[in-house]
């Protein structure tokens, strides 16, 4: 398979998943600000939402004030923000368009439909759009694309690269979403606990569509330890870090089978997986969740680089 | 019925033999059913995404070419003559190309002025003395033909670089077979679907001498924004070869490689659908992002075959066109089977005077233009348009040629009022490699507007399936 084709498939998946994450981040911010705070005002998570998406500098230079309408313009509609829903949907479609013949009609139509419908959405007066509506719409589009993909796509080499895009991106996103909460609001472990905090953790779980699964797994109690365990080390939860890395490693092994040799990326994924498998949640919390997550985001990015290098992505 | 034009289906009230098989079908198919089939055809075209980009028109960046369900038909006797004529032309054009990059016999013999070659933008000094595999330069020759009578065919122009439209020939047939399977049971229509295989065989047969093993072929496209991108991906798909862009290829040592997920893979034959100017920024346009740096060096040292070969464009220039009959006599020692349209070269003073005096009756074209852009159709133009165009000609006469407006034949075409005659032309695709091959069919373009003689898709022309009926 041409490296460019593999690369386009990989990035189509990454951008769709990123659009989904941006929607989930916005949802957290939106719910947080509905919550009364002790000083009589309302909470604001917008700063941490922007921080988590890794675009704080761009936002500050372009908009300055952390007001809801600015955040929506920036995170939903702004083409200058590479993580905005608009940018992600456009990039996903452009990548897919370049390799249309490698995708089934269903997958292409789902991607194209999302792109076209967003254009309609953009023309709708903002006063008629609510943020939850936009978030729900985005999550649905991403689900439709993924559904069409797993329902119709031949499980060949291209399938592996597409799936790999999803898992690498999702691991990054879960780590960042988790970091929003911990990094900004709970710099030390001693401060964990209390009603407000529980509510915010719930928010996080809801945004990851993991609210009920958490209860099924751990019963009714929210403890930072259990939540961290769930999002990092639970092998059954499809957004946990260990789940994503396991999947990435599996896809890379499949590729090694297809190509008849293992490449460097496979080894990087295996060692990252090894680290996670040996991790103990108490140690992670003691070490500092933020430090742990930062390290993970870097290792995961390293995996991305290694994939690009191993399969000759990008111009030589 | 307008008798100035040859009607391919009817001779007065009589149906000509070629179309005999269609009369029963027309009589027995109710109009509602045809309307329904037409809608069906349009849906299929849209779904598979055969669209056509029109440059300089933002609103319609992707639109459908109108497809006419009424086929255009030749008998196999008519076809055999066309076939011989087209193949003859393709052989002569390739002989000419080899000659002008080697001994230049035709110029030394005084049959063709050297200036027309050396001063031609498409002439490529960097390949002088280089011999492509089997001495073939133009591997796909598209010859544009028009008909004016039962045995009267004229060549409008030759396309030696990368003629497009062959995907329509194949898709139009595919759609007709899907919509009207009965027609194909009752008429013995020669198949066209071997074209991709024949193209692959042709490309494989011109692998460079350095290639030891089955040749690796790739189709090189400028990318998804090119108007013919659909065709590029279609042909790659049908031939079972990779569709590559410049960024997928790189030169290492004496060979060209493509980046694949298994590592670099050597490419032996590149069917490029991209102009000479863009294939190698080191040799041609330095600002081109489409090309492969170093490709020309590999080509010159015999590490890769580029199809069509760099420099092939000089043979399909409109000024060179007028000499093709002489080429046929000079290289093949044969009389031309297909006629040229009489052409005035505005570069010559006497011709220029004649052209300027008769603009209202002539078709004037830019020597280097293509696709019906920037031409003047005298009889269909206003006085003002003619005067404006005359100024352009006077400013640079060498840039223009003129031809009489031909009485293009008509073929019955479905329009809103039913079946009506519309003007058509024909582009068959001749493959030149180890063998010279012509698929029995081609692209018939039809001017959908009543009375119009311009069939170019960029000017609202449509397409038809083209049949050759076995006797």
Residue B197: predicted pLDDT: 96
Q: Convert B202-222 to b/e letters by CB count within 10 Å (16 or more is b).
A: bbbbbbbeebeeebbbbbbbb
- Residue predicted with more confidence, A284 or B202: B202
Does A188 score more than 50 pLDDT? no
Phi/psi for A313 (5° steps) reads -70, 160
* CA–CA separation, B85 and B88 (whole Å): 5
CA angle (B459, B172, B178) in 5-degree steps: 145
B229 in contact with chain A, both atoms CB, cutoff 8 A: no
pLDDT at B56: 43
User: With an 8 Å Cβ cutoff, are B247 and A4 in contact?
Assistant: yes
Q: Is the pLDDT at B60 greater than 50, yes or no?
A: no
B51/B277: higher pLDDT: B277
> Which residues from chain B sit within 8 angstroms of residue A251, using beta carbons?
none
Q: What is the pLDDT of residue A184?
A: 43
In chain A, the largest separation of any two C-alpha atoms, in whole Å, equals 64
Mean predicted confidence (pLDDT) in B338-351: 90
The confidence score (pLDDT) of residue B272 equals 96
Residue A295's pLDDT is what?
Answer: 92
Task: Report the gap between the CA of B269 and the closest CA in chain A (Å).
Answer: 16
Q: What is the DSSP string of B209-233?
A: TT--SSPPEEEE---TTSTTHHHHH
Interval A114-137 mean pLDDT: 90
Query: Has residue A162 got a pLDDT over 60?
Result: yes
Chain B residues with CB under 8 Å of A255 CB are: 261
Give yes or no for B233 touching A (CB within 8 A). yes
Please indicate if any CB of chain A lies within 8 Å of the CB of B128: no
Interchain CB contact of B247 with A (< 8 Å)? yes
Task: Identify how many contiguous H helices and E strands chain B contains and give both numbers.
Answer: 14, 23
* pTM summary value: 0.82
Mean pLDDT calculated for residue range A247-256: 96
Q: Which pLDDT does position A315 carry in this prediction?
A: 56
- Of the residues B62, B233, B242, B261, the best mutation for testing chain A's interface (the one with the most A CB atoms within 10 Å of its CB) is B261
Question: In angstroms, how far is the first alpha carbon of chain A from the final one?
Answer: 17
List Cβ neighbours of B4 (8 Å cut-off, separation of 6 or more). B407
Instruction: State the Cα–Cα distance between residues A17 and A20, nearest whole angstrom.
Output: 5
**A121: closest CA of chain B, how far (Å):** 20
Contact A242, A178 (CB under 8 A): no
Spell out the residues 6+ positions from residue A229 whose beta carbon is closer than 8 angstroms to its own. A281
Q: pLDDT band at B58, cuts 50/70/90?
A: very low
Query: What is the secondary structure of A224-263 as a DSSP string?
Result: HHHHHHHHHH-SSSTTSHHHHHHHHHHHHHHHHHHHTS--
Dihedral angle, C-alpha A207, A208, A214, A217, nearest 10 °: 170
Determine which of A74-88, B157-171, B233-247, B285-299 has the lowest per-residue pLDDT on average.
B285-299
Q: pLDDT at position B59, please?
A: 44
At A179 the pLDDT is 81
B226-248 average pLDDT score: 90
pLDDT given for residue B467 in this prediction: 96
Mean pLDDT of chain A: 87
> Chain A partners of B237 at a C-beta cutoff of 8 Å?
101
What's the pLDDT tens digit per position in A13-27? Answer: 999 999 999 999 898
Tell me whether residues A1 and B260 touch, CB distance under 8 A. Answer: yes
Cβ-based contacts of B248 with chain A (< 8 Å): 2-4
Confidence class for position A197, pLDDT limits 50, 70, 90: low
pLDDT computed for residue B372 by the predictor: 62
* Chain B CB contacts of A312 below 8 Å: 259-261, 263-264
Residue B261 has its nearest CB partner, among A97, A98, A311, at A311
Return the C-alpha torsion angle A200, A201, A205, A208, nearest 10.
70
Of the two residues B66 and B153, the one the predictor is more confident about is B153
Take residue B76 and report the two structure tokens written for it: 């196999």
pLDDT of residue B1: 54
């Amino acid at each position: 398979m041409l490296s460019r084709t593999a690369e386009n498939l990989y990035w189509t998946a990454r951008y769709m998943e990123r659009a989904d994450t941006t929607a989930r981040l916005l949802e957290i911010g939106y719910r947080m600000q509905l919550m009364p705070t002790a000083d009589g005002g309302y909470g604001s998570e917008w700063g941490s939402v922007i921080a988590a998406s890794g675009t704080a500098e761009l936002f500050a230079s372009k908009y300055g004030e952390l007001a809801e309408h600015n955040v929506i313009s920036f995170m939903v509609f702004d083409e200058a923000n590479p993580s905005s829903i608009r940018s992600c949907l456009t990039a996903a479609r452009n990548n897919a368009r370049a390799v249309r013949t490698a995708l089934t009609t269903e997958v292409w139509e789902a991607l194209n439909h999302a792109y076209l419908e967003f254009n309609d959405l953009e023309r709708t007066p903002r006063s008629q759009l609510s943020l939850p509506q936009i978030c729900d719409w985005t999550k649905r589009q991403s689900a439709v694309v993924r559904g069409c993909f797993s329902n119709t796509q031949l499980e060949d080499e291209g399938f592996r690269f597409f799936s790999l895009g999803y898992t690498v991106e999702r691991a990054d996103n879960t780590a960042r979403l988790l970091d929003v909460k911990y990094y900004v609001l709970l710099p030390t472990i001693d401060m964990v606990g209390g009603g407000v905090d529980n509510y915010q953790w719930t928010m996080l779980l809801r945004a990851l569509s993991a609210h009920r699964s958490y209860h099924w797994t751990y019963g009714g109690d929210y403890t930072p330890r259990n939540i961290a365990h769930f999002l990092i080390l639970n092998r059954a939860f499809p957004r946990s870090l260990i789940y994503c890395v396991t999947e990435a490693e599996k896809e890379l092994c499949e590729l090694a089978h297809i190509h008849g040799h293992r490449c460097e990326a496979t080894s990087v994924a295996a060692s990252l997986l090894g680290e996670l498998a040996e991790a103990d949640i108490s140690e992670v919390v003691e070490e500092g969740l933020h430090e742990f997550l930062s390290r993970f985001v870097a290792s995961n990015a390293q995996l991305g680089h290694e994939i690009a290098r191993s399969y000759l992505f990008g111009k030589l | 019925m307008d008798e100035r034009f040859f009607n391919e289906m009817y001779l007065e009230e009589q149906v000509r033999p070629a179309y005999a098989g269609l009369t029963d079908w027309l009589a027995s198919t109710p109009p509602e059913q045809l309307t329904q089939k037409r809608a069906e055809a349009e849906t299929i075209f849209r779904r598979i995404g055969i669209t056509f980009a029109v440059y300089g028109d933002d609103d319609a960046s992707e639109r459908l070419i109108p497809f006419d369900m009424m086929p255009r038909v030749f008998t196999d006797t008519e076809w055999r003559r066309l076939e011989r004529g087209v193949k003859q032309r393709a052989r002569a054009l390739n002989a000419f190309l080899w000659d002008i990059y080697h001994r230049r016999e035709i110029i030394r013999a005084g049959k063709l002025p050297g200036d027309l070659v050396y001063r031609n933008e498409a002439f490529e000094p960097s390949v002088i003395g280089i011999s492509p595999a089997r001495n073939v330069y133009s591997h796909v020759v598209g010859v544009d033909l028009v008909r004016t009578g039962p045995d009267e065919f004229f060549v409008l122009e030759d396309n030696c670089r990368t003629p497009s439209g062959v995907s329509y020939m194949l898709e139009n047939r595919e759609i007709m077979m899907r919509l009207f399977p009965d027609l194909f049971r009752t008429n013995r229509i020669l198949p066209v679907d071997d074209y991709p295989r024949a193209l692959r065989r042709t490309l494989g047969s011109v692998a460079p001498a350095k290639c030891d093993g089955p040749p690796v072929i790739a189709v090189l496209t400028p990318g998804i924004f090119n108007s013919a991108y659909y065709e590029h991906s279609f042909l790659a798909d049908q031939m079972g070869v990779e569709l590559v862009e410049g960024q997928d290829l790189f030169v290492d040592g004496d060979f060209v490689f493509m980046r694949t997920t298994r590592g670099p893979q050597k490419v032996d034959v590149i069917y490029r659908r991209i102009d000479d100017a863009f294939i190698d920024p080191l040799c041609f346009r330095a600002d081109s992002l489409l090309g492969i740096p170093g490709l020309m060096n590999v080509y010159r040292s015999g590490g890769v075959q580029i199809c069509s070969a760099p420099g092939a464009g000089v043979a399909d220039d409109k000024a060179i066109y007028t000499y093709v009959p002489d080429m046929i006599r000079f290289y093949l020692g044969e009389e031309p089977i297909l006629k040229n349209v009489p052409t005035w070269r505005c570069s010559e003073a006497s011709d220029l005077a004649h052209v300027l005096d008769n603009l209202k009756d002539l078709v004037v074209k830019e020597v280097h233009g293509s696709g019906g852009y920037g031409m003047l159709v005298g009889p269909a133009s206003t006085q003002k348009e003619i005067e404006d165009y005359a100024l352009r000609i006077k400013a640079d006469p060498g840039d223009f040629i003129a031809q009489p407006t031909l009485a293009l034949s008509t073929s019955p075409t479905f329009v809103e009022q039913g079946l009506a005659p519309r003007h058509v032309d024909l582009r068959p695709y001749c493959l030149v490699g180890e063998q010279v091959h012509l698929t029995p069919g081609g692209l018939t373009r039809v001017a959908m507007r009543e009375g119009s003689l311009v069939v170019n898709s960029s000017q609202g022309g449509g397409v038809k399936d083209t049949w050759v009926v076995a006797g």
